[in-house]
Amino acid sequence: MEFKISDWIVNEGNVFELPHSCYYIDHIQHEIRKQLNLRQQIAEINNNDRLKINSVTDFLNVFIDITKDAGNGNSIKETLFGREGFGVKFTPPDKWPNHEIYRALKNELLEKYYNEDCKALLSLQNYRSNYDKFKKEFITEHLGETEASFIEAELRLCTRIEIELKKPVYDSLDYLGVNNFGDIQGNYFKNMMQPIIIERRAYLNEKINSISTATHAPPPAEKGRLKVKQVALIHVYSQIQITRENANDIAAKHGYTAKTSGEGLFQDYTHFSDPTNRKGKPNPYSITKLKNKIELFESVLEHLEVKQQLRAIDEIKILKGMLEAEQD
């Protein structure tokens, strides 16, 4: 398995919308990366290949100093291992294998799931029970927005969680030979969350249809027309060709009727048809432009079929890896 640090970040960008009190999860992972970077520097200086992190197994088996601050006033050791969890209290030594730390981090997510106090982790039953409350909170915070806007935001969250759960950090690690964790320490959280998000997406789509039927208005995805770049990307991933001959007709179907609309759509389609342009940094480059590119790609996922989504998700992961490397 190819090793990319971006594949081994739990709750990246707080996708599970954990409260601020859970910031320690991010801080611990930052501390891990800091220790690994220092180890790599020492390996380079001493030309010691044994110290280098070149694979997933290297990454997971390296020992981490867990006496360091977890960002909450306690050490990593005290935060993850110094209290009872799932009926077991265990105190490891001051240096502990990275895979054990990641097992503990996933257990933290399990605990938040069982506490049922995070919207993103709620079962369908509890989500349905709290739907009106969540909708009211959203509309209060976003003045002028509607229930349709709330559903759009919730569907985007579903997509982000689906992308997050495809990362290997949420899989069982048995196949790496690092430890025989068993399911509860491996992909148990992922196996619970995937059906929850599928059910929630179906429920939200039912809400869309009920709003559409009641008001004769288009569903949220059609409320505002797609941007030209979105249309181009959707056609690329759907493998539907755009030529200069049909570009004007396709642009017009999406509400773009200016004389130059078809040519602009054709140029965007041609650009994104090249895998190098899809998976490479924007030119001219800036971190903001890279973030915007990631948002653009994520915005078309809901318009793609499952097989097409997988291809797009793989390329989004590449772009996020670039962003992570720039921000470290």
Q: What are phi and psi of 117, to 5 degrees?
A: -120, 10
Task: With a cut of 60, say whether residue 129 has pLDDT above it.
Answer: yes
Which whole number is the average pLDDT over 278-301? 92
Local confidence band at 221 (pLDDT 50, 70, 90 cut-offs) = very low
Q: Which two tokens stand for residue 284?
A: 């001219």
Q: Which residues pair with 69 in a beta bridge?
A: 75
Other C-beta atoms closer than 10 Å to the C-beta of 224 total: 10
Which whole number is the average pLDDT over 10-16? 93
Q: Whose CA is closest to 176, among 73, 103, 276?
A: 103
Count of residues in the chain: 328
Predicted model pTM: 0.63
**Angle of CA points 168, 174, 175, to nearest 5°:** 75
User: Are 13 and 161 a contacting pair, CB within 8 Å?
Assistant: no
* CA–CA dist 43, 61 (Å, integer): 16
Look at residue 64 in the predicted model and tell me its pLDDT. Answer: 96
Look at residue 180 in the predicted model and tell me its pLDDT. Answer: 46
Over pLDDT 90: what percentage of the chain? 54
Q: What is the pLDDT of residues 55-91, one digit of tens each?
A: 888 999 999 999 999 999 999 999 998 765 544 556 7
Look at residue 216 in the predicted model and tell me its pLDDT. Answer: 44
- Got the DSSP string for 211-270? HHHHH-PPPHHHHSPPPHHHHHHHHHHHT----TTTHHHHHHHTT--STTHHHHHHHHHH
Q: Whose CA is closest to 223, among 255, 270, 266?
A: 255
